[in-house]
Amino acid sequence: MTTALSAPATLDERIRRDPGSFRVLSGDRPTGALHLGHYFGTLHNRVRLQDLGVETFIVIPDHQVLTDRDVAERLTATVEGLLLDYLAVGIDPDRSVIFNHSAVPALNQLLLPFLSLVSVAELGRNPTVKDEIAHSRQASVSGLMFTYPVHQAADILFCKGNLVPVGQDQLPHLEVARTVARRFNERYGPVFPEPEALLSAAPQLLGTDGTKMSKSRANSIALSADEDTTARLVKGAVTDAERHITYDPEGRPGVSGLVLLAALCLGRDPHTVAEEVGGGGAAVLKRTVTDAVNSRMAPLRARRAEYARDMGYVRAVLRAGNERANAHADATLAEVREAMGGPVPAL
Ligand code: ATP
Ligand code: MG
């Protein structure tokens, strides 16, 4: 663990002091292969927390793929790819629960009371929803897109998750989950924690086009990419006309995104990496990035290939995770019903 990836001191200290008082919930939509933004933005932190002894849940929100597209294409293959990525980065299925949303029906039953706790206006002004609508492949905005943050609240709160390692873009969604928890507790009594976000030092890694690296934007470098593909993608990344390389995220997002990527892979300070490349320009920078990514990812890619030889095991990991997630979700739903006044009599 490099210091560059540490969480803010106070939260980090609290986690170290008492890992048993935290429960992590995090996840990734199965819309494509996991990329370096996921690795440095959240996956690395999830593994670190798991290894510190924090109970960890990982949701694969499969139905939520439909928030911004009409059809969930290649869903099974994508979910299996995510499972391989998790195992390859060091998620241990004995200590972490990996499950997919559609296999846990109680999550959708939590959604109804949760929806009643937020207003349409609040959902409408959520900046992440607005951004996702702007990048959506659909002609009109579906109700599912609109209510996405509330689905996510159910995905976090069903297991009483109180710590969520996320990228920057998810902060507004997490705010909705906090609001839902707080209002539920005020209205019906204390049931849920108010989950805290845990950002890494790379809360928004940029893609090869200089905007947020995203599975759906054809600008990402997958964890599972081979060395040649990585080299090709880095070569095509946008830079700028200034030859001398500097680290200036505001003024030079393209170049600085590449510098940061190399620095994260090497566990070094981005300013130092930029100084070393200096007059070598974009060509040297891109070579540095390619080598850094390929050597940092090599062990992970080798482990991934190993796991891929036994897909029976990989699927069993998900089955076991779904069983454990269902047990938690059913228990929480029973608690919610109790808090809300129990079932209608004589039904
Ligand atoms: P999509 O394009 O389908 O929305 P995505 O690449 O944005 O995919 P998500 O599944 O939406 O990935 O996000 C999963 C997690 O990874 C979230 O916690 C998100 O904040 C984080 N994350 C995604 N992209 C980045 C990035 N570029 N840098 C840092 N964290 C990221
Ligand atoms: Mg996203």
Block means of pLDDT (10 residues each) for the chain, 347 residues, are 57 93 96 96 95 97 89 92 98 97 96 96 91 84 92 97 93 96 97 96 93 92 98 97 96 96 97 97 98 98 98 98 98 95 61
Q: Residue 243 domain-assigned?
A: yes
Residues contacting ligand 1 via CB (< 6 Å)? 28-29, 31, 37-38, 41-42, 166-167, 169-170, 202-205, 212-216
Q: Which ligand is nearest to the CA of 37?
A: 1
User: Total domain count for the chain?
Assistant: 2
pLDDT number for residue 138: 83
Distance 257 CA to ligand 1 centre (A): 16
The pLDDT score that the predictor gives to residue 2 is 47
Q: How many whole angstroms from 207 Cα to the centroid of ligand 2?
A: 13
258 in the same domain as 284: yes
Q: Is residue 262 part of a domain?
A: yes
Token couple for 268 = 């070094």
Same domain, yes or no, for 56 and 119? yes
- Structural domain contains residue 3: no
Q: Are residues 334 and 233 in the same domain?
A: no
If asked whether residues 182 and 254 sit together in one domain, one would say no
What spacing in Å lies between the alpha carbon of 318 and ligand 2's midpoint? 22
* Nearest alpha-carbon partner for 227 in 155, 280, 302: 302
Is there a single domain that holds both residue 18 and residue 72? yes
Ligand 1 atom index nearest CA of 40 = 29
Same domain, 301 and 320: no
Residue with CA closest to ligand 1 atom 14: 28
Contacts of 70 (CB under 8 A, 6+ apart): 137, 138
Q: Which long-range contacts (CB under 8 A, 24 or more apart) does 124-127 make?
A: 126/172, 126/173, 126/176, 127/172
Please tell me the residue having the least CA distance from ligand 1 atom 7.
Answer: 214
Do 259 and 293 lie in one domain? The reply is yes
CATH, residue 263: 1.10.240.10
Q: Which amino acid is at 330?
A: D
Quick one: which atom of ligand 1 is closest to the CA of 35? Answer: 6
Q: Same domain for 182 and 324?
A: yes
Give yes or no: residues 144 and 264 share one domain: no
Verify that 128 and 145 share a domain, yes or no: yes
Residue 268: domain span: 215-308
- The pTM (predicted TM-score) of the whole model is 0.93
